[in-house]
Every structure is written in structure tokens, then in C-alpha cells.
Amino acid sequence: MTRSSAIRDAMLKRVTELAVLLFAITTLLFFLLRLGGDPAMIMAGDEADPEVVALIRARYGLDQPLIVQYLRYLGAMLTLDFGESLRASRSALGLVLERLWSTLLLALLALLITAVLSIPLGAWLGYRPDSGDRKAVNAVVFVLQGIPGYIAGLLLIQLFVVELRWLTSIGNQGISSWILPSLTLASFLVPKMVRVISANVSEAMREDYIRTARATGASGPELLLRHALPNALLGATALIGTQFAFLMSGSLITEVIFAWPGFGALLVASVTRLDFPVVQAAVFVIAVLVFLVNAGTDILFNLIDPRLRRQTT
């Protein structure tokens, strides 16, 4: 098989996976949401006239049999038409995409913070995992990993907003308002990444190639930074995909806590209001995003791991 046809096959497989995944998720979502309640009643309010409710039903096609609604929904989705929001009379997908950038900004900042915190800490912990001080820090990280991420957000607000009054906790109002939400979101990932990196580093430090490097006169820092850490980080990149999915779920909570105008907050609000089209569009976008990050990680992995890189000689 030639190389280009191998790549084409791999891409075809990926795209097929994505299609199956999206079909499954949207179908599941469609029926789950219909179990939750009657959106027309919610839109019209508790005291509403039955005629108004009927009108609303007709306007959004909610009076049709469920299977008809489902088929219509599938057909529309093929053209990326999720319908209008039941609340805002705007395209549901448009609403979601408008919020996408805020969420991605937050996610990117959180990833950056995670890298800045967990690479040095993980390397330090893994370099000599048996020394007393590192055992203690390891125990702390282990405990932190068990604490839900939103607790960190609430503690941060209590400290910096309520007590110290240094920062604001509401919405996106420029750089100073990014700090707390991105720290909170990062707190979902940091303990896990510290543990993964330190485990990878301590494993790498026991490898034969470390002894070889020692025999050429390498110092402790050289062993760690030039020999163990590159291998440890390479192992950790494989986790980016799953951690990104985790990050997206963390962004739901974080955005609600900080009234952050991202699509996580939009999704939560839309679920409570039974705004089906928006929920469906948001879940669709998250699924595509997670898929893209996973595929991107694979490509990245192929580029940076010399063992997977194509031979050029």
C-alpha cells in the first residue's frame, strides 16, 4: 500500500467514525430531551391559555408524532440546520457558534496554566519519587485529585473576590476577569496531569538509556531535562484528547459559576429551559470539537515521536 492511500484510508475511517458518533449522540439526545418535559408549556408559562400552547406547538412542529419530528430533525441536521432557539428566535447553531470563542479562550488559557503548573511539578516529583518532601507533595496532589473542580472555583471566588476584592467573578470583562475562571477550569486537569507526568518521569528515570547517559557524564538536571522529560511528555500528549473532553465538561460548571458567556453556560441554561434546538446544536459542536482535538493529537503525536515519524533515509 502506498503512503498516500494509507493516509486516505485512515482519514476515511476517521470520518466514518465521526458520522456514526454524531448520529448516535444526536439520536440519543433527541429522545432523552423529549422525556424531560413539554417545551411549549414551559415557553407559555404555567398559567397559559391552552390555545396559546397549541399555537406554540404548531409553530415549532411539536404537535407532530415523535417519529415525524425525529425524521425532520435528522433531515435538517444533514444541512446543519438545528432550527431556531425556542427562546431567542435565532438560529440555534448561530447562538452556539457565537459563544464558541469565549469557551475556546477559556479552554486554551486553562491548558496553558495546566502545562505551566504540571510539567515542572510533575518533573520535580518524578525525578526522585522516594524522597520525603516529594512523597508529601504527592499525597497532597492525590487528595486534590479527589476534590471536584468546582470547589476550587468557589474557593477562588471566596478568596479573591469576596475577601481580597482583587478580581471580579462575573462574565468576560477583559484580562483580569479571565484569571479566576481559567484557574478554576485548569484545576480540573492539573492534579491528573501532575500525576501522569511524574509517573512517566519516574518510569523514564529507571530506563536503561538513563544509565547510558549517566555513563557519558550527564548531571542530574541533564538526565531529567534532556533524557527523561522528553520521553515523559511524549507519553502525556496521548492524553490530550481525553483530557480535552474532560475540559469541556469542566467548562459547563466553570462557566455557570462565573457567568462566563461561553457555550457551556448556554448549554446548561438551554437544558433547564428545554430549548431543544440549542441543546442539540451545542452537543453537536462539542462532539465535533472533541473529535477534532483527538484527530489533531494523533497527527501531533505522529509528528513529534521520532519512532512514528516516517523514515527519511
Partner 1 sequence: MADTNTPPDARTEAPLLEIRGLRIGFPRPDGPPLVVVDGVDLSIRQGEILGLVGESGSGKSMLALAAMGLVPAPGYVMAGDIRLDGRDLVTLSEREWQKVRGRTLGMVFQDPMTGLNPVRSVGALLGESVRRHQKVGPEEAAAISEAALKAVGIPAARERLAAFPHQLSGGLRQRVMIALALVNRPRVIIADEPTTALDATIQAQILDLLRDRLHEAGGLMITHDLGVAAEICDRIAVIYHGRIVETGRTRDVLAAPRHPYTAGLLAAVPRFHGRGTRLIPIRGAPPGPVSERVECSFRPRCAKAAPECAAAPALEAIAPGRSVACHHPVAAAPAREDAQ
Judged by the rule CB under 8 A, the positions of this chain that interact with partner 1 are 207-209, 211-219, 222, 226-227, 230-231, 234, 305-307, 309, 311-313
Give, in order, the Cα–Cα distances in Å from 51 to each of 44, 48, 89, 209. Answer: 10, 8, 20, 78
Name the minimum Å distance from CB 193 to partner 1.
Answer: 19
Among candidate residues 150, 124, 151, the one with its CA nearest the CA of residue 137: 124
As a whole number of angstroms, the distance between CA 254 and CA 10 comes to: 36
Among candidate residues 165, 166, 159, 185, the one with its CA nearest the CA of residue 258: 185
Q: Which is nearer to partner 1, 48 or 234 (CB)?
A: 234
Q: Which is nearer to partner 1, 166 or 209 (CB)?
A: 209
Q: Which is nearer to partner 1, 35 or 215 (CB)?
A: 215
The whole-angstrom distance between residue 83's C-alpha and the CA centroid of its chain comes to 25
Residue 194: all three cell numbers together: 501532575
- The residue behind cell 413539554 is 38
Q: Which is nearer to partner 1, 11 or 304 (CB)?
A: 304
The whole-angstrom distance between residue 232's C-alpha and the CA centroid of its chain comes to 22
The three-class DSSP label of residue 259 is coil
Name the minimum Å distance from CB 310 to partner 1.
Answer: 10
Q: Which is nearer to partner 1, 200 or 280 (CB)?
A: 200
Residue 245: Cβ within 10 Å count: 16
Q: Which is nearer to partner 1, 59 or 211 (CB)?
A: 211
Q: Which is nearer to partner 1, 134 or 214 (CB)?
A: 214
Q: Which is nearer to partner 1, 26 or 231 (CB)?
A: 231
CB 262 within 8 A of CB 177: no
Name the minimum Å distance from CB 235 to partner 1.
Answer: 10
Q: Is 19 exposed, middle or buried (0-12, 13-18, 19+ CB in 10 A)?
A: exposed
As a whole number of angstroms, the distance between CA 278 and CA 88 comes to: 10
Residue 6: Cβ within 10 Å count: 10
Name the minimum Å distance from CB 121 to partner 1.
Answer: 22
Residue 153: Cβ within 10 Å count: 24
Q: Is 309 exposed, middle or buried (0-12, 13-18, 19+ CB in 10 A)?
A: exposed
